[in-house]
Amino acid sequence: MTKPDIAAARREENIFAALREEIIAALVGQLPDLPAETLARIDVGPAREAAHGDATTNAAMVVAKAARAAPQAIAARLAGAFDGSALIARAEVAGPGFINLHLHADALRAVVGAVLRLGEAYGDCDLGQARAVNVEYVSANPTGPMHVGHCRGAVVGDVLANLLGKAGFVVTKEYYINDAGAQVAALAWASYWRYLQALGADLSAEDFDPQVPGGLQYQGDYLVAVGQTLADAHGASLAGPGVSVADPAVWFDIVREHAIARLMQGVREDLDLLGVRHDVFSSERALVEAGAADAAIGRLEAAGLIYEGVLEPPRGKLAEDWEPRAQTLFRATGFGDDVDRPLRKSDGSNTYFANDIAYHNDKMARGAALMIDVWGADHGGYVSRMQAAVRALSGEPGRLEVVLCQIVHVLREGVPVRMSKRAGSFITLRDMIEEVGRDAVRFTMVTRKSDAQMEFDLAAAVAQTKDNPVFYVQYAHARCRSVLRAAAAAGVVADAGAQLGSLAAEPELAVVRRLASWPRTVEGAAAAREPHRIAFYLYDLASDFHALWNRGRDEATMRFLQADHPTETAARVALVEAVATVIRSGLAVLGVAPVEEMR
RNA sequence: GCGCCCUUAGCUCAGAUGGAUAGAGCAACAGCCUUCUAAGCUGUGGGUCGGUGGUUCGAGUCCACCAGGGCGCGCCA
What are the phi and psi torsion angles at A175 (to 5°)?
-125, 130
Distance of C1' in B54 from CA in A122, Å:
45
Distance of C1' in B19 from CA in A56, Å:
11
* Cross-strand bridge partners of residue A424: A420
Distance of C1' in B21 from CA in A201, Å:
75
Distance of C1' in B49 from CA in A49, Å:
21
Distance of C1' in B44 from CA in A94, Å:
30
Instruction: Report whether A187 contacts A263 (CB < 8 A).
Output: yes
CA of A554: nucleotide with nearest C1': B32
Q: Which nucleotides of strand B lie under 7 Å from a protein CB? A: 1-7, 12-17, 19-21, 23-26, 32, 35-42, 57-58, 69-77
* Residue with CA nearest to B56's C1' atom: A65
* Cross-strand bridge partners of residue A174: A136, A280
In terms of C-beta density within 10 A (0-12 exposed, 13-18 middle, 19 or more buried), how is residue A188 classed? buried
Distance of C1' in B40 from CA in A552, Å:
12
CA of A181: nucleotide with nearest C1': B77
CA of A409: nucleotide with nearest C1': B70
Distance of C1' in B27 from CA in A467, Å:
12
Distance of C1' in B34 from CA in A582, Å:
34
The ipTM assigned to this model is 0.95
What secondary structure does DSSP assign to A339-400, as a single string?
S-EE-B-TTSPBPHHHHHHHHHHHHHHTT-SEEEEEEEGGGGGGHHHHHHHHHHHHS-TTSE
d(CA A223, CA A220): 7
Query: What's residue A316's pLDDT?
Result: 59
CA of A347: nucleotide with nearest C1': B75
Query: What's residue A12's pLDDT?
Result: 59
- The pTM score is 0.94
* DSSP assignment letter at A312: P
* Residue with CA nearest to B20's C1' atom: A95
d(CA A260, CA A255): 9
Distance of C1' in B54 from CA in A65, Å:
21
- Mean pLDDT (10-residue bins), chain A, 599 residues: 52 82 91 86 86 90 86 91 91 90 92 94 93 95 87 95 96 96 92 96 93 90 95 96 94 96 95 96 95 94 92 66 83 90 87 95 96 93 93 92 90 74 67 91 93 87 86 95 95 93 92 94 94 96 95 90 93 97 97 91
* Edge-first strand listing for the sheet containing A370-376: A280-283, A170-177, A132-136, A370-376, A400-405
Distance of C1' in B64 from CA in A338, Å:
21
Instruction: Report whether A357 contacts A297 (CB < 8 A).
Output: yes
* Residue with CA nearest to B19's C1' atom: A58
CA of A143: nucleotide with nearest C1': B77
Task: List domains and CATH numbers for chain A.
Answer: 3-103 (3.30.1360.70), 469-590 (1.10.730.10)
CA of A345: nucleotide with nearest C1': B75
Other Cβ atoms closer than 10 A to A596: 14
d(CA A171, CA A156): 15
Distance of C1' in B21 from CA in A540, Å:
22
Query: What's residue A422's pLDDT?
Result: 47
The helix-helix angle for A59-67 and A71-79 (nearest 10°) equals 120
CA of A559: nucleotide with nearest C1': B36
* Residue with CA nearest to B38's C1' atom: A550
* Residue with CA nearest to B32's C1' atom: A554
CA of A94: nucleotide with nearest C1': B20
Instruction: Report whether A586 contacts A512 (CB < 8 A).
Output: no
Query: What's residue A320's pLDDT?
Result: 62
